[in-house]
Amino acid sequence: MPKVMTKRFPRHPKHPERICWGCDKYCPTDNLGCGNGADRTQHPVELMGEDWYLHGDWGLEFDDDPPSTATDGDSPRG
């Protein structure tokens, strides 16, 4: 059975570069506490783009809503 993270994982954090995403401690980059490496682990949005969660089975529950996307029928035309 996979390990369940105790903190909810953000889909689109405001400043992902300020945090290590390697475990559920979410340490600031200047104070890594878990010792699982010398560098911080990047958030998937930094590696794969804004739609990272659409590719693969992450098995995560998110703490933010998905970004709104307009379809052709929803976009106003002037």
Answer yes or no: is 72 within a domain: no
Residue 28 tokens read as 């600031």
Q: Considering the entire predicted model, what is its pTM?
A: 0.65
The count of C-alpha atoms lying within 13 angstroms of the C-alpha of 69, restricted to the half-sphere facing its C-beta, is 4
Q: What is the pLDDT of residue 3?
A: 57
Q: pLDDT digits over 17-54, tens only?
A: 999 998 888 889 888 888 766 788 999 999 999 999 99
Looking at the structure of the chain, the number of domains it has is: 1
What is the spatial distance between Cα 11 and Cα 52, in angstroms, rounded to a whole number?
A: 9
Answer yes or no: is 53 within a domain: yes
Domain range for residue 25? 14-59
Answer yes or no: is 20 within a domain: yes
Q: pLDDT digits over 44-73, tens only?
A: 999 999 999 998 888 887 765 555 454 544
Answer yes or no: is 8 within a domain: no
